[in-house]
Structure 1
Amino acid sequence: MSDIIVRRAQEADLDTVVPAFAAATADEVVNAWIAAAGPVPVDAYTAHLIESMRKHLRDDEVWIAERDGRIEGLSVWIQVASTERFHAEVEEIAAMAETMALPMLGRAETVMRLIAGAHPEKFPHLYLFSIAVVPEHRGAGAGGAMLKARLATAEQEGMPVYLEASTEDSARLYRRHGFEAIGDRLRLPEEGPTLIPMWRN
């Protein structure tokens, strides 16, 4: 088996990044809780995912783990100097939820509002917005490789890092990479998952 290559994706990678991200995040516990609220309009979801990933590739950092030319894992990192962006995104999804009356959008708003309200106001910092591995490649080192690569750069920059762990297993992984739990846990309603805010100096 060849080695994993970790690199920052570019806008030209959009067509391969989108399906890999969709596959990697489909069963993530928060996404699964949102989707369980009701039917997910496939065309609308796909269009939203494409536009969201295009924005991340343009404005943020999308790091991918590849092996033999195939994407095994993806992570989205945001440089944060203010929480204004997150609150603006909450209002955008709230407007969509009101217009389209889809239960899943209501749950998405709940998640985003909870996360935005709890986001630490220690600026600047790096925010690990999302990290996921394609199911058939889990356990082969892609997640750890992405973390190691971007955290090494953060250390060189003197940049602290924030994230919300969505499971106890993922929290243990982050602790091994120097993160510590901070503040109160974020509990989603309707038997939703509990998120664990974590910080790395």
Structure 2
Amino acid sequence: MSIEPATWADSPALRTVLARAYRDNPLMVWALPDAATREGACAAWLGPSVDRYLAGGRADVARLDGCVVGVAAWRLPDRPAVPGSLPAPDRVLALLVGPARAGEILAALGRAAAFAPKEPAAYLNYLAVAPEHQGRGIGRELLDVGVGQARRDGVGTYLATSDPRNLPFYERAGFSAVGGLDLGGPRLTVLHGP
């Protein structure tokens, strides 16, 4: 297995890994309640974000026998969002669930910004491993690469998770919970890195 920067050619594989890994994530179940269409809806909603990380953030992939089996996508503090690229994630969500429901979901998620570090920090937006490869340390390797790069860049790290099963994983990696909020379904916990 190797960990390396993602390329534009990886975009379809990144969408697939994210959709499959997040299919049963509490946030996705809450935001996209139709189990029959959730995997495709996840790929549609998260795909534009992946493209933005490829254009102006940091995305690392885990490859096994040449195939992408994991991804870590970071929003970097010194890089602005990529303006004008379409489709925009918020608009895709509105197409999937309707404008009113999308507004509710995005407003709830936006409240987590109150728990962001005061100093510059890289935000781990996505850490996902294909389900058949989970439990083998791939996620931890991806996380360690990103945290190490943030340290070399002189910035902190933070993330948010709605899956309580993830908390021990992040705590073992040195992250500490600093706050949380009820999204109206799942609870979102924000953690700051070591």
Question: TM-score normalized by structure 1?
Answer: 0.77
Unaligned runs of 5+ in 2: 83-88
Q: Could you say what secondary structure the match of 2:190 adopts?
A: strand
Q: 1:48 to 1:125 in 2, by over 3 A?
A: same
Q: Could you say what secondary structure the match of 2:18 adopts?
A: helix
- Counterpart code for 2:17: A
Q: Could you say what secondary structure the match of 2:105 adopts?
A: helix
Matched, 1:173 2:169: yes
Which of 27, 50, 54 matches 1:30?
Answer: 27
Q: 1:18 to 1:168 in 2, by over 3 A?
A: closer
Q: State whether residues 64 and 146 of structure 1, in contact with CA within 8 Å, keep that contact through their aligned partners in structure 2.
A: yes
Q: Please list the CA deviations of residues 33-63 of structure 1 after superposition, one character each: whole Å capped at 9, or x if unmatched.
A: 1111798599886554443322221111111
Deviation at residue 14 of structure 1 after TM alignment: 1.6
Q: 1:38 to 1:70 in 2, by over 3 A?
A: closer
Alpha-carbon distance in structure 2 between the residues aligned to 1:107 and 1:38: 20
Larger radius of gyration: 1
Which of 74, 79, 89 matches 1:77?
Answer: 74
Matched, 1:195 2:188: yes
Which of 141, 147, 151 matches 1:151?
Answer: 147
Which of 122, 126, 146 matches 1:126?
Answer: 122
Output the aligned Cα RMSD.
Answer: 3.4
Q: State whether residues 5 and 59 of structure 2, in contact with CA within 8 Å, keep that contact through their aligned partners in structure 1.
A: yes
Q: How many residues align?
A: 189
Q: Please list the CA deviations of residues 48-94 of structure 1 after superposition, one character each: whole Å capped at 9, or x if unmatched.
A: 44433222211111111111112221111011259999xxxxxx838
Deviation at residue 142 of structure 1 after TM alignment: 1.2
- 1:137 equivalent in structure 2: 133
Q: 1:30 to 1:83 in 2, by over 3 A?
A: farther
Unaligned runs of 5+ in 1: 86-91
Question: TM-score normalized by structure 2?
Answer: 0.79
Q: Please list the CA deviations of residues 112-159 of structure 1 after superposition, one character each: whole Å capped at 9, or x if unmatched.
A: 32233x242523211011111111111111111101111122222222
% same residue = 26
Deviation at residue 106 of structure 1 after TM alignment: 4.4
| Aligned 1:36-51 pairs, distance under 5 A | 36=33, 47-51=44-48
- Counterpart code for 1:165: T
Farther off after superposition, 153-162 or 73-82: 73-82
Alpha-carbon distance in structure 1 between the residues aligned to 2:81 and 2:68: 32
Alpha-carbon distance in structure 2 between the residues aligned to 1:34 and 1:26: 11
Q: Could you say what secondary structure the match of 1:51 adopts?
A: helix
Q: Could you say what secondary structure the match of 1:140 adopts?
A: coil
Deviation at residue 181 of structure 1 after TM alignment: 1.4
- 1:88 equivalent in structure 2: none
- Counterpart code for 2:147: L
